[in-house]
Every structure is written in C-alpha cells, then in structure tokens.
Structure 1
C-alpha cells in the first residue's frame, strides 16, 4: 500500500523533500490503518494465525493463561487495534501539507476508512444471510480490501503530487482491478493454500460461510 502510494506520487511528480516526507508519513498512516483492520478481523473471525504467527488475541491468551471463554484476550486485542487507528489518525493529522492538498488527502482518507468498515460489516453480515450472490461477494471484496489495498493508496499518491482530479481518478480506477485480483487470490489461498506458506489456516472462509466467489 505505501509502495503504491509512493509510485503514484512518482508517476505524477518528482518527489521533492517535502513531498517525500509527506508521502512516507501518509504511507505509514495507511499501514497503521491496515494493522487496525487485521487485528479486529482476527478477533471477529476467531482466526488463530496471522502471517504464520499466533494472532494477537491468541498470543495474549497464551501469555495470560486465559481460557477460550475469557473475554480478556479479544477485548485487549480490540483495544490494540483501536490504538493503531488512533496512531494512524495522529500521523495523518501531523503531516505537514499545503491546505488544498490536506483537504483532498483528508477527503480520500475518510472515504477509505468508511469503505474498510463497510466491507468488514458485509463480510460478517454475509455469514448470517442467505445471500450467496456473486454481486455481494464482489462488493464485499472491493470494500473490504480492494479499495484500500490499491485504489485509495494510488489516489493518495496522486493527491500528494498535486495531480488534477482527472488524473487522480484514472489512477484510482486503474488500481481497482489490481486490488480486486489481490483479494480474490487471497480467497483462493485461504481455501487451497498451504498454511506453512500462506501463514494462515486453510478453509476458514468456507467453514464460516463468508461471501466470497468460491461460495
């Protein structure tokens, strides 16, 4: 995500010192937002692994000897995710930007943040609804991951470069299929991937009845 942001900046303008520093900070904010999303997602899905290691709530349960019914590990992990979100907001707010650029960055950020939450909601809602349409699966994939994994980082990079709205929109649109492909491949790996290579259990999405194109 930060790499896409950086290369969108490079594609639209040569990054001078101020722009480069701003891009690094905004990229860091995006990563902190991603950290929040992953920690919360693991708690909501009761996932035990993340990137080949115990998920945060699992690690906390082991550290404190908590039972499977103890609410502490999950609650503490949610707080850690909240802290990552707060740090993301602080990092973005403290980034020095010209006022017109700041307003555009904040506008993209607000949309990206809302899309991420809406996608997570659809992911959860899909487990308790009979809707198994491809349309719902694609909408969930776009909102939960594709937008903030590719389209929005590209858009942020273009905005930081001072690109005009037309070019900014085209870059964001170019990222949409790449972000969707990323999520669809992740869905495939979540079912058929080798956990020793993917770093996460196989079959969780199928067992939970999540709205993916595979189900």
Structure 2
C-alpha cells in the first residue's frame, strides 16, 4: 500500500460556518480555512486546494479501494493527512456483478467551469480517465466563449465564479439557439434549500454539492439524453 503524508500548522478559528466535512476534517470554503480534530489550520492557496480535494477524497478512495484519514494531537502540533492506496501489484476486491455487467460509459464532451485551478485539474483528470473529452476554463466569460465556439454535451459549472455567477452563465447558454441541447450541471459549495430551485430556474438540469460526489456525477453522465 502507498502512503502519502502532509503536515500543516494551525491558526485562529474561522468565523464562517464550515461547509465541507469529511470525518475529522472540516473545510470552510468561504473563509478559506480548515480544521482537523478542532485544530484550525493556516493554509496557502495550493494547500487549501489540496484540503478541498482531500475532503472530497473518500468517494474517490472507494473507487480505487483505498482510504483517507486526518489526525491532530492538538493546538500547535500540526495535522497529519494519510492517503492509503493499493499499489499496482495489490489485489483489489472483485467488482460487484452489477458493476461488471454495466456497458461501457458514453464518451462525452465535457466543459468544466471552476475558478479553483487545482480543483478543476482534479475533475479534469478524473473525467478524462472515464473516457470523456474534457476542457477546463476558470471564469464564466471563458465558459460562454468556449460553448460559443465548440460543441459540448455537458457543462459542469461552479456557481461561485469570480466574474459572472453560475446562474447567469446557465441562463445565457440556454438563451442561445442550440442552448436546450446542453446538459448543465451546477456545482455548489453550499447546500441551502433554495439553491436547487434557483439552479432549476436558471436552466440547470441538476446540482451537485462540493465535495463533488463522483458516483452521482457518473450516474448523471450515463443517463441517456440527460433523463
């Protein structure tokens, strides 16, 4: 088994509620802070992106028969994140009959719209490994330009973009002559009850919350004609 460790230092607690939880790891996307076992960490941008990916990792670890954990001995003692993955020579558990019986997934043209470049790269790699043709952009303006010059089947769009919010991006895409054929999936760091209704009104077909649930995303992509 391969083990990966990362150690980070703590700071004062965040003043915005945590929106991502993975076991003892809490990630506050609004305050750009995180805590492990109650110890709050000070993070550089790339470190925070790493923790966002670690918070989303449990679902990804299941896909690769691995696991992820986090631990801290207390304030001032840092935190340890452990990712355990089977090596190439390890024997993975057999696939279930239902999984083995599935037909090969369709190859789709997917546009990822995510301002966090590290997170976008993670989504890009995971979807590409599933056989899809993937393009990534980091602003709403770039998304509108990309869909205006290239044909996509699916747009995976973060709602909290730096220039144009995701709802506006969806409305503008839907307003185009060929806009109805696109499958639009919203991605949000929040889970308020009104968010899904707003996303539907803007033209999104579905909404997924961060950390991105890969199993649910895969099921959505495999539905014929986005049903």
Q: Could you say which structure has the higher helix fraction?
A: 1
With CA pairs under 8 Å and 6+ residues apart, which has the higher RCO, 1 or 2?
1
- The structure where strand makes up a greater share of residues is 2
Length-normalised TM-score, structure 2: 0.22
